[in-house]
Amino acid sequence: MKLYTTLNIIRQHNPCKDSWEKALKLLGKTKPDDDPLSFEWILDNMGVCDATGWIQAVRDEDRVDVERDARLFACDCAESVLDNFESEHPQDGRVRECINVSRLFARGETNDEARSAAYSAAWSAARSAANSAADSAAYSAAWSAARSAADVAAWSAAYSSARSAADVAAYSAARSAGRSAADSAADSAAWSAAYSSEREKQSDIFRKYFCD
Protein backbone atom coordinates (compact mmCIF):
# COMPACT_ATOMS: atom_id res chain seq x y z
CA MET A 1 0.00 0.00 0.00
CA LYS A 2 1.17 3.54 -0.68
CA LEU A 3 1.02 5.05 2.77
CA TYR A 4 0.69 8.71 3.69
CA THR A 5 0.93 10.74 6.86
CA THR A 6 1.21 14.45 7.70
CA LEU A 7 3.67 16.54 9.64
CA ASN A 8 1.01 17.23 12.26
CA ILE A 9 0.51 13.50 12.84
CA ILE A 10 4.26 12.89 13.01
CA ARG A 11 4.64 15.73 15.51
CA GLN A 12 2.12 14.07 17.82
CA HIS A 13 4.49 11.12 18.19
CA ASN A 14 7.48 13.16 19.41
CA PRO A 15 10.06 12.59 16.65
CA CYS A 16 13.68 13.17 17.57
CA LYS A 17 14.71 16.79 17.22
CA ASP A 18 17.39 16.26 14.55
CA SER A 19 15.15 14.20 12.27
CA TRP A 20 12.24 16.58 12.72
CA GLU A 21 14.32 19.63 11.85
CA LYS A 22 15.85 17.83 8.87
CA ALA A 23 12.39 16.97 7.50
CA LEU A 24 11.17 20.55 7.87
CA LYS A 25 14.25 21.88 6.10
CA LEU A 26 13.99 19.43 3.21
CA LEU A 27 10.30 20.24 2.78
CA GLY A 28 10.97 23.98 2.96
CA LYS A 29 8.63 24.44 5.94
CA THR A 30 8.94 26.05 9.34
CA LYS A 31 6.01 24.37 11.09
CA PRO A 32 3.85 21.24 10.74
CA ASP A 33 0.74 21.14 8.58
CA ASP A 34 -1.82 18.69 7.22
CA ASP A 35 -0.41 18.33 3.71
CA PRO A 36 -0.17 14.64 2.67
CA LEU A 37 3.35 13.29 3.11
CA SER A 38 4.16 9.90 1.63
CA PHE A 39 6.29 7.32 3.37
CA GLU A 40 8.06 6.95 0.05
CA TRP A 41 9.32 10.51 0.50
CA ILE A 42 10.25 9.77 4.10
CA LEU A 43 12.17 6.64 3.10
CA ASP A 44 14.00 8.32 0.21
CA ASN A 45 14.89 11.48 2.09
CA MET A 46 15.13 10.48 5.74
CA GLY A 47 16.24 6.85 5.47
CA VAL A 48 14.86 3.55 6.68
CA CYS A 49 15.62 4.21 10.37
CA ASP A 50 13.37 7.26 10.49
CA ALA A 51 10.83 5.61 8.21
CA THR A 52 10.40 2.68 10.59
CA GLY A 53 10.47 5.01 13.57
CA TRP A 54 7.67 7.12 12.13
CA ILE A 55 5.48 4.26 10.92
CA GLN A 56 3.24 4.66 13.96
CA ALA A 57 2.36 8.17 12.79
CA VAL A 58 -0.50 7.17 10.50
CA ARG A 59 -4.12 8.09 10.03
CA ASP A 60 -6.63 6.18 12.15
CA GLU A 61 -8.26 4.66 9.07
CA ASP A 62 -4.94 3.09 8.03
CA ARG A 63 -3.91 1.77 11.44
CA VAL A 64 -5.16 -1.84 11.15
CA ASP A 65 -3.45 -2.40 7.81
CA VAL A 66 -0.27 -0.69 8.96
CA GLU A 67 -0.05 -2.77 12.14
CA ARG A 68 -0.30 -5.94 10.06
CA ASP A 69 2.28 -4.78 7.54
CA ALA A 70 4.63 -3.48 10.24
CA ARG A 71 4.73 -6.97 11.76
CA LEU A 72 5.28 -8.54 8.33
CA PHE A 73 8.09 -6.06 7.68
CA ALA A 74 9.66 -7.08 11.01
CA CYS A 75 9.39 -10.76 10.04
CA ASP A 76 11.14 -10.12 6.74
CA CYS A 77 13.93 -8.21 8.49
CA ALA A 78 14.45 -11.05 10.96
CA GLU A 79 14.39 -13.64 8.20
CA SER A 80 17.06 -11.78 6.24
CA VAL A 81 19.64 -12.67 8.90
CA LEU A 82 18.27 -16.12 9.76
CA ASP A 83 21.31 -17.76 8.15
CA ASN A 84 23.46 -16.21 10.88
CA PHE A 85 21.70 -18.43 13.37
CA GLU A 86 21.11 -21.55 11.30
CA SER A 87 24.71 -21.73 10.08
CA GLU A 88 25.78 -22.14 13.72
CA HIS A 89 22.76 -24.17 14.86
CA PRO A 90 21.59 -26.07 11.76
CA GLN A 91 19.39 -28.48 13.74
CA ASP A 92 17.59 -25.79 15.73
CA GLY A 93 14.31 -24.78 14.07
CA ARG A 94 13.04 -22.54 16.87
CA VAL A 95 14.02 -19.24 15.29
CA ARG A 96 12.56 -20.09 11.87
CA GLU A 97 9.37 -21.31 13.52
CA CYS A 98 9.13 -18.09 15.52
CA ILE A 99 9.21 -16.04 12.32
CA ASN A 100 6.61 -18.30 10.70
CA VAL A 101 4.25 -18.03 13.68
CA SER A 102 4.74 -14.25 13.79
CA ARG A 103 3.68 -14.00 10.16
CA LEU A 104 0.56 -16.05 10.87
CA PHE A 105 -0.22 -13.80 13.84
CA ALA A 106 0.16 -10.67 11.74
CA ARG A 107 -2.39 -12.07 9.30
CA GLY A 108 -4.81 -13.09 12.03
CA GLU A 109 -4.24 -16.79 11.41
CA THR A 110 -3.03 -17.80 14.88
CA ASN A 111 -3.48 -16.65 18.47
CA ASP A 112 -1.64 -15.01 21.36
CA GLU A 113 -0.83 -18.35 22.96
CA ALA A 114 1.07 -19.56 19.88
CA ARG A 115 2.87 -16.23 19.57
CA SER A 116 3.88 -16.37 23.23
CA ALA A 117 5.29 -19.87 22.80
CA ALA A 118 7.23 -18.78 19.71
CA TYR A 119 8.63 -15.78 21.55
CA SER A 120 9.79 -17.94 24.46
CA ALA A 121 11.39 -20.48 22.12
CA ALA A 122 13.26 -17.82 20.16
CA TRP A 123 14.61 -16.23 23.34
CA SER A 124 15.69 -19.67 24.54
CA ALA A 125 17.53 -20.13 21.24
CA ALA A 126 19.15 -16.71 21.66
CA ARG A 127 20.40 -17.62 25.14
CA SER A 128 21.74 -20.93 23.83
CA ALA A 129 23.67 -19.08 21.12
CA ALA A 130 25.03 -16.52 23.57
CA ASN A 131 26.17 -19.19 26.03
CA SER A 132 27.91 -21.23 23.35
CA ALA A 133 30.82 -18.85 22.85
CA ALA A 134 30.46 -15.36 24.23
CA ASP A 135 33.57 -14.04 22.46
CA SER A 136 32.82 -15.53 19.06
CA ALA A 137 31.65 -13.21 16.31
CA ALA A 138 29.69 -16.05 14.73
CA TYR A 139 27.79 -16.83 17.91
CA SER A 140 27.26 -13.14 18.57
CA ALA A 141 25.61 -12.88 15.17
CA ALA A 142 23.59 -16.01 15.89
CA TRP A 143 22.35 -14.51 19.15
CA SER A 144 21.36 -11.30 17.37
CA ALA A 145 19.47 -13.22 14.70
CA ALA A 146 17.54 -15.19 17.31
CA ARG A 147 16.78 -12.05 19.29
CA SER A 148 15.51 -10.35 16.15
CA ALA A 149 13.05 -13.20 15.67
CA ALA A 150 11.99 -12.99 19.30
CA ASP A 151 11.33 -9.28 18.92
CA VAL A 152 8.86 -9.81 16.10
CA ALA A 153 6.83 -12.15 18.34
CA ALA A 154 6.99 -9.91 21.39
CA TRP A 155 3.96 -8.43 23.11
CA SER A 156 5.05 -4.92 22.17
CA ALA A 157 3.22 -2.86 19.61
CA ALA A 158 3.70 -3.70 15.96
CA TYR A 159 5.55 -0.41 15.43
CA SER A 160 8.08 -1.18 18.16
CA SER A 161 8.58 -4.66 16.74
CA ALA A 162 9.31 -3.22 13.29
CA ARG A 163 11.93 -0.78 14.56
CA SER A 164 13.51 -3.25 16.97
CA ALA A 165 13.71 -6.15 14.51
CA ALA A 166 15.23 -3.91 11.84
CA ASP A 167 17.85 -2.54 14.24
CA VAL A 168 18.84 -5.94 15.60
CA ALA A 169 18.94 -7.51 12.14
CA ALA A 170 21.29 -4.79 10.91
CA TYR A 171 23.64 -5.35 13.85
CA SER A 172 23.42 -9.10 13.34
CA ALA A 173 24.59 -8.71 9.75
CA ALA A 174 27.42 -6.44 10.87
CA ARG A 175 28.53 -8.83 13.61
CA SER A 176 28.53 -11.69 11.13
CA ALA A 177 30.90 -9.79 8.85
CA GLY A 178 33.07 -8.22 11.55
CA ARG A 179 35.69 -9.57 13.91
CA SER A 180 36.71 -12.24 11.40
CA ALA A 181 38.94 -9.78 9.55
CA ALA A 182 42.72 -9.79 9.90
CA ASP A 183 42.99 -6.47 11.72
CA SER A 184 40.83 -3.84 13.39
CA ALA A 185 40.72 -1.55 10.36
CA ALA A 186 39.51 -4.36 8.10
CA ASP A 187 37.04 -5.41 10.78
CA SER A 188 35.62 -1.89 11.02
CA ALA A 189 35.27 -1.64 7.24
CA ALA A 190 33.59 -5.05 7.01
CA TRP A 191 31.23 -4.17 9.87
CA SER A 192 30.23 -0.87 8.28
CA ALA A 193 29.72 -2.38 4.83
CA ALA A 194 27.57 -5.21 6.16
CA TYR A 195 25.49 -2.85 8.26
CA SER A 196 24.87 -0.54 5.31
CA SER A 197 24.03 -3.46 3.06
CA GLU A 198 21.44 -4.76 5.51
CA ARG A 199 19.87 -1.32 5.81
CA GLU A 200 19.57 -1.21 2.02
CA LYS A 201 17.76 -4.56 2.08
CA GLN A 202 15.43 -3.18 4.74
CA SER A 203 14.72 -0.15 2.58
CA ASP A 204 13.59 -2.47 -0.21
CA ILE A 205 11.40 -4.42 2.21
CA PHE A 206 9.91 -1.21 3.59
CA ARG A 207 9.19 0.03 0.08
CA LYS A 208 7.32 -3.20 -0.72
CA TYR A 209 4.93 -2.78 2.20
CA PHE A 210 4.45 0.96 2.48
CA CYS A 211 5.43 2.67 -0.78
CA ASP A 212 4.01 0.58 -3.64
pLDDT digits (tens, 9 = 90+) for 5-29: 999 999 999 999 999 999 999 999 9
Q: pLDDT tens digit string along 64-115? A: 999 999 999 999 999 999 998 898 889 999 999 999 999 999 999 999 899 8
Burial class (CB in 10 A: 0-12, 13-18, 19+), 56: buried
Distance from C-alpha of 56 to C-alpha of 158, rounded to nearest angstrom: 9
pLDDT(197) > 50: yes
Q: CA 164 to CA 78: how far, in whole Å? A: 10
d(CA 138, CA 129): 9
Residue 176 vs residue 87, higher pLDDT: 87
Distance CA 201, CA 137 (A): 22
User: Per-residue pLDDT for 153 more than 90?
Assistant: no
